[in-house]
Structure 1
Amino acid sequence: MADAQWDDLRIFLAVARAESLTGAAKALRLDPATAGRRVGRLEESLDARLFVKSPQGYTLTEAGQRLFEHALRVEEAMRGALSGGVTPADALSGSVRIGAPDGCANYLLPQVCAAICEGNPGLEVQIVALPRVFNLSKREADMAIAVSRPSAGRLTVQKLADYHLHLAAAESYLERHAPIRSLGDLAGHPVVGYIPDMIFDRELDYLSEIGTSRPEYASNSVPVQLNWIRAGAGIGIVHDFALPFAPGVRRLLTGEISLRRSFHLIRHADDRRVERLNLFAEALAQRLRAEVARLESLA
């Protein structure tokens, strides 16, 4: 490892994260061939194969995964060294990438992270909104928010906040249809929800709880579903914290249909030693919990 230079490790990390030479080269502003040569040089110096190449991209070997964990610690040490050690203990700096379901990413994280960044000018936050579970072992993000606790992996899990969901419809839709006063009145109404075979977490299978399995209007995106409801396409389950962003949409049958879910913050176990990520996680938990409560009070 003594022969491996930091610059080679930096390229190695970029390839591992992008799972391709092209993606890594673009991120680092290098030629893909140069990135490939540098990875080859690193493999030669370590006498180990670090990647398996396939049509799907570059996948870490067992040796590559071991080096990946070590390289992350080197990267964190380099960030600390470059900061000069002058950052106050209660301040945040550097880049943090957080992955989250698109409902959380659209309606909660922008204002929460903006507030954190306002008090920490040296902090850069990247929000990756994807309707799926993030793979922290591949370091797609520094941390991720999920609605279910993971059952495997070297991960730490922290509960962030409970949130609530209710059946809702647009006033424009309700004006055109018979009143909905009970569960029995739901029959015949078009439903908005997730594409059934794209529900990546059982906690998102809301419609089964109201006796519906196949929505007439379906999307894997929470904002798309909410916009369909706002347009008067039908009825659907909506996050209470999203309702303030959807004027003209109101809750229905709140005494009969009320769902509660939880957000969990998931991190790689090795990151417990990274103080800036610990500080960010603490600030995120406090502000997200408060923001959910604020927005739900306006629903």
Structure 2
Amino acid sequence: MDWDKLRIFHAVADAGSLTHAGETLHLSQSAVSRQIRSLEESLNTTLFHRHARGLILTEQGELLFDATRAMNKRLEAAAARIRDSEEEVFGELKVTTTTGFGTMWLAPRLPKLYEKYPELKIDLMLEERVLDLPMREADVAIRMKEPSQADLIRKRLMNIRMRLYATQDYLDTHAPLTTVEEISAHRLICQSPNSAQVSAGASLVQHLLGYDVLSTLTVNNYFGALQAVLANLGVGVLPDYLTEDFPQLVRVMPEIESGEVPVFLAYPEELRQSKRVSAFRDFVQEEIFNHRRKIRDNETPS
């Protein structure tokens, strides 16, 4: 099969237009059209339905587009490895993690990484959906469970727990909170039961709701829950990695916490030699080491 025709087909399928694909490929619309017709003839099938508003893939076209998309991902991976043979750390690095961890822990620390590698271009994708690393939807993932995808290098970074926090201002102006039964007199701030979250956190919330909590505020990520707690709206179920960066949080009922939640960093086996990936991995590990040390120092009696 002609690689050049496949490249043109992929651009047309991605753009949904001969004109837009031609602009991307620096070819005339007629040249693109000829190549598509030639490919259809060689395969003895129709790849696109032609409409006035653009092109729509046929069933056969969808099958071919799936194949060219996978090929394109592999080519991007190969190109990344070639670029990473240089001594400098530069170029794009696609990093995915959860909204809470990305906004509240990772993003505030990125200035240190950029200071060391100013030519690095990080595409930070914050979502609960697990992206496909082998298919290069992202280069590196930080997730709250061990990745199950094959052909990944995994590194366990740390363990976290969900705990209860409030501000001192809130505690000073509301009913006492020394036993779990007293949670019923407070507003509980937590993730929505139907939102993607770690099972340990969901289990803790269900346990607390069993104490006849009269008022709740549910949010679909921990960043929103944190903001509500800082605004003195109630008692929040939050990850313990926040305590270093938000000293105004006061832990309440220390005996109440979730089970351990492992945090993993993962990347495709084929990026083992990537200098960008190595630089990011080493940066995250160093920051977690510093984070743990600060927590220990704060917990040690003076």
Structure 2-normalised TM-score? Answer: 0.71
- The residue identity in structure 1 corresponding to 2:69 is F
User: Residue 172 of structure 1 corresponds to which residue in structure 2?
Assistant: 169
Pairing of 1:1-299 with structure 2 (within 5 A): 2-4=2-4, 8=8, 11=11, 15=14, 21=16, 41=36, 44=39, 47=43, 61=62, 63-78=64-79, 87-88=86-87, 91-136=88-133, 139-152=136-149, 155-208=152-205, 210-212=207-209, 216-257=216-257, 259-269=259-269, 271-272=270-271, 275-276=274-275, 278-280=277-279, 282-294=281-293, 296-297=295-296
Deviations 1:210-243 (A, max 9, x none): 4327871011121110111111111111222223
- The residue identity in structure 1 corresponding to 2:39 is E
Change (3 A) 1:77 1:184: closer
Preserved CA contact (<8 Å) 1:92 1:280: yes
Unaligned runs of 5+ in 1: none
Preserved CA contact (<8 Å) 1:169 1:250: yes
Count of residues in Structure 1 that have an aligned counterpart in Structure 2: 278
Preserved CA contact (<8 Å) 1:190 1:234: yes
C-alpha separation in 1, matches of 2:259 and 2:216: 21
- 1:161 positional shift: 1.8
C-alpha separation in 2, matches of 1:139 and 1:289: 25
- 1:169 positional shift: 0.9
Kindly name which structure, 1 or 2, has the bigger radius of gyration based on alpha carbons. 2
Preserved CA contact (<8 Å) 2:10 2:68: no
- 1:76 positional shift: 4.0
C-alpha separation in 1, matches of 2:106 and 2:205: 28
C-alpha separation in 2, matches of 1:149 and 1:50: 40
C-alpha separation in 1, matches of 2:199 and 2:128: 13
- The residue identity in structure 1 corresponding to 2:72 is A
Deviations 1:84-122 (A, max 9, x none): 96x21xx42210011111121012222443323322233
- The residue identity in structure 1 corresponding to 2:224 is V
Residue 3 of structure 2 aligns to a residue whose secondary structure is: coil
Unaligned runs of 5+ in 2: 50-55
Deviations 1:170-223 (A, max 9, x none): 222212222211222222321001111113442441534643278710111211
Preserved CA contact (<8 Å) 1:164 1:258: yes
C-alpha separation in 2, matches of 1:200 and 1:61: 33
Structure 1-normalised TM-score? Answer: 0.72
Preserved CA contact (<8 Å) 1:49 1:64: no
Preserved CA contact (<8 Å) 2:80 2:274: no
Q: CA RMSD in A?
A: 4.2
- 1:7 positional shift: 6.5
Identity rate of aligned residues, in percent?
18
User: Residue 52 of structure 2 corresponds to which residue in structure 1?
Assistant: none
